[in-house]
Amino acid sequence: MYYNAYSACEGMNTSTNSKVATPHPVTPTPDGDFLLFLGKRVRQLRSLRGMTRKTVAREADVSERHLAQLEAGEGNVSIVLLRRIASALNVSLVELFAPEVEEPGEKHLIQRFLERLPNHRLEDVVFRLMRDFGPEEKVRRMRIALIGLRGAGKTTLGSKLAGESQVPFIEMDREIEKDTGMPLAEIFALYGQSGYRAIEKRTLERVLNENERAVLSVGGGVVSEKETFDYLLSHCYTVWIKAQPEEHMTRVMAQGDFRAMAGNDQAMEDLRRILEAREPLYRQADMELDTSGTSAEESFSKLKTTLRANLQ
């Protein structure tokens, strides 16, 4: 969700990047490599959340120039010093900043076990944990949650599926507006990205507590908040509704939203960047449905057939 060209279509209060000075090349050193990694990570997280540099700078109360330097690998030297202190103490930066909490010994055993486990086995572990310790699988599958960016077809397919299944169709954006009494743009203007995400989580919990069976259309940015997305994955059968970037844009404009037409090239660049950043997270859904190049009826037929096969 972001406000520049296509960004406006996702409803987030962001704005276009202003010009910043071109940073000087960074000389490769261990500290320089760390700052480059940190800058890349900040850019990745910003893309994942669909936020412009100007928006992050405003919400973090730092200058846009400072943020641009950080993303370019020219972070403040104090960051490097903290890293050296953490290394001397043989702890990670995360541990250095984490509050001291008494953890049960069993949790440490589990963490050490997971650290030794090959990456290709982790997916199986997650599945078993969700199956054995999450909500009853039968209950989870009674709620279908459609995720993906605007323009993929979530509302069209979700409303058709709910109608045929005779269950409520719930659009999370509308529920958030109902809970707050404000349109999404106003929520972002008043509370910012973090405030909106907290509201989204509370609303999602309420909706799922009130509806044992339902079809949900969930905002595309839900994947950027791990706790909320994990909650959704463990309480609903999730379907990633996806399409080619050009089709996302075309469908949004066909809905009568022409804000994406201004600076269309920039909008497409933003859209591709956000899709790239979020794709690994969208792939955590139980199933995928590509609506590219197909009519609504064709996509709906494919959705029903796939769900029927997977939910038996």
- pLDDT range class, residue 134, cuts 50, 70, 90: low
Please indicate whether residue 166 or residue 85 has the higher confidence score (pLDDT). 166
Which pLDDT score is estimated for 28? 59
Cα–Cα dist 241/300, whole Å: 11
* CATH, domain range 121-310: 3.40.50.300
Cα–Cα dist 1/150, whole Å: 9
In the numeric block, which tokens belong to residue 80?
Answer: 């490097």
For residue 23, the cross-strand partners are none
The residues spanned by each domain of the chain are 5-97, 121-310
Does residue 29 have a pLDDT over 80?
no
Phi/psi at 243 (5° precision): -160, 170
pLDDT (mean) for 56-80 = 84
Whether the CA torsion 220, 225, 226, 228 is positive or negative: it is negative
Which pLDDT score is estimated for 212? 93
Whether the CA torsion 91, 94, 99, 102 is positive or negative: it is negative
The domains spanning 5-97 and 121-310 adopt the same CATH topology? no
Q: What is the pLDDT of residues 291-307, one digit of tens each?
A: 988 899 999 999 999 99
Which pLDDT score is estimated for 286? 93
pLDDT (mean) for 240-263 = 69
Q: What is the pTM of this model?
A: 0.65
Please indicate whether residue 94 or residue 220 has the higher confidence score (pLDDT). 220
What percentage of the chain has pLDDT greater than the value 70?
A: 83
Does residue 99 have a pLDDT over 90?
no
CATH fold for domain 5-97: 434 Repressor (Amino-terminal Domain) (1.10.260)
pLDDT (mean) for 189-205 = 92
Does residue 105 have a pLDDT over 90?
no
Contacts 24+ apart (CB under 8 A), 39-46: 39/70, 39/71, 39/72, 39/73, 39/74, 39/75, 40/71, 40/73, 42/67, 42/70, 42/71, 43/71, 44/277, 46/71
